[in-house]
Structure 1
Amino acid sequence: MTFAGAKSVLAIAVATMLCATLSGCNTYQPAPKSFSEATIQPYRLDSGDRLRVNVFEQAGLTGTYTVDQAGYVAFPLIGAVPSRGHTLPEMEQMIAEKLRQGYLRDPDVTIEVDRYRSVFIMGEVGQAGQYSYVPGMTVQNAIAVAGGYSARANQANVDVTRKINGRVITGRIPISDPIMAGDTVYVRERLF
């Protein structure tokens, strides 16, 4: 192969990679409608959430319980209670019904989230890592918690990976959008 031939092969290879890179950026879709709708739905429990359960006048049952990796809460007397994907009122009802089956006559159960599962912030931020979620948190708040943007960060929007109805979905959203507990936020590097 001649020098001119090698040069043209190299030029074609570079053009192909550049074209693939740019077309990859253009084919990335924004987050689907269900992505933003999930932020206004009732909170659904998942692994890592810590719950404060109060059973009225039952000090032995009242306490904090964590949703385990399998999606269950180990509760005294009644055992494992399926929690993943359920809302707090659904959990209150499930625990009360199980306690009614031979343990308490009319249990009054209230549950609130003691600590939400973490959010993960990666990419072009000061300190990527796992951080505590706070209700009402936006992408911008999450980035601030992670030490702000790096010098190379794309500050217009981010990629967020979220579990919706049991499916893991990634979408690109503006930094003013809310995030949810368990989300993974990825700040991309800007191209230029």
Structure 2
Amino acid sequence: MQRFIALIVSLVVMPLFASQALAQSSYKIKSGDVLRIEVLEDSSLNGESIVLPDGRASVPLVGTVPVRGRSVDEVRNDLVARLRPNFASDPTVYVSLSSVATDEPEDDTLTIYMLGEVTTPGTIEVERGTTFLQALAQGGGVTRFGATKRLQLRRPGANGQMQVYTFNVKAIMDGKSSVNTPVLREGDIIIVPQRRLFE
């Protein structure tokens, strides 16, 4: 009986995993996707990175890397080459898709939410293609009590868990950062935390 169950598992489950792996290896990354990057030799480099509108993703120790239009295998090989000078031998890098950007509906507007120390908190309608920074400006910007170095974008992931991305808007406004903020999706939540005492 156990052999029969094992046979069923091998005939049904294994092809399913193989087809998922094949689909992921042939998938071309696009803006809005979230990549999971893991480096076996240094867990401090592990994390998730959203693919920005310019097609780049931010990776610790490497900086921004062009990923749009490439497969996860191509990105992995690129990261191995970029990280190689920091290790005695080639690092073991794993790249996977944490969530995939959904195709946007035909409607020209989408609903997002703003919370915390923003001038006009609540629900706002923005045009499709609006970025995080543009929506923040549309909402009246950050109040004088807001923390401009750690604004959050919260977005539901494919696994149902909320993904959290943090942006230093002050560095962007001061011209110290050229990071492009992501294009918003339906249901995104922008949170402006309250400034700490010496922040």
Q: TM-score, normalised by structure 1?
A: 0.41
Q: TM-score, normalised by structure 2?
A: 0.40
